[in-house]
Structure 1
């Protein structure tokens, strides 16, 4: 997860700790979306700490990515959870930002309108969450870290955990 600073300029993308080159490029092209990514990182940490609050490992070490003993450097069930919840949280926060109209790149999911039957007297006028967009952006941004290097077993495992997180609704 990226360090939690304000991301409002392209230069800010270069200063984020924990991002690979490809993620920094995505950051620069999608500055307005990065606030949602940041909120997703915060949400993931909060949820992880809530889920593991009664355990010996309580997610406290995921806030500082550059520590040598960081749990994310090991293939454990805890790191699998962190990858999954991080990917899910980014998908969730991007989806919510789209639905709230905060971003020009995305908006409401229009599929609901196409599924209404002609005989129906009910007319949907709300804004459905655009889960497909949020999930796709999460996949592009979060998975970029694992796709940057030669694919190995660990990268495949992390990609699997990221995808598992995005599938949970």
Structure 2
């Protein structure tokens, strides 16, 4: 009966279970940290892409405004004339299709890294801007499924 009571010097079951529990808690903590940083990195990347996309769109509007907006010197005033920053005229994919502009999907629904961003232009022109041949344009790039939006604003100069 004495051979059952010998101390073999090994770890008991309670010690093994306790050490596994401590290790699993530590690993889960670090795993959650990695998951959070990965989500934050992707969100930051999507926001940065949206910002660059909005900036690039504003530069394209400056280079070729008639691809995106109605001509400012037509016989009747354009829809954005007399609008204000609080109540701008919005150009979007739907408006582009309704006005039969060209390349609506390319201009207003660009695909970047497998994600479709929606571009909206908020355009207004008060009387002082009209006298200076300027159109105020705010470009918003939105990633709908994540609720991420970036907006840049600038003036577009046109020749009458």
Q: Same fold (TM over 0.5)?
A: no
Q: Which has the higher helix share?
A: 1
CA radius of gyration, larger in: 2
TM-score (norm 2): 0.30
Q: Taking structure 1 as the reference length, what is the TM-score of the superposition? A: 0.29
Q: Which has the larger share of strand?
A: 2
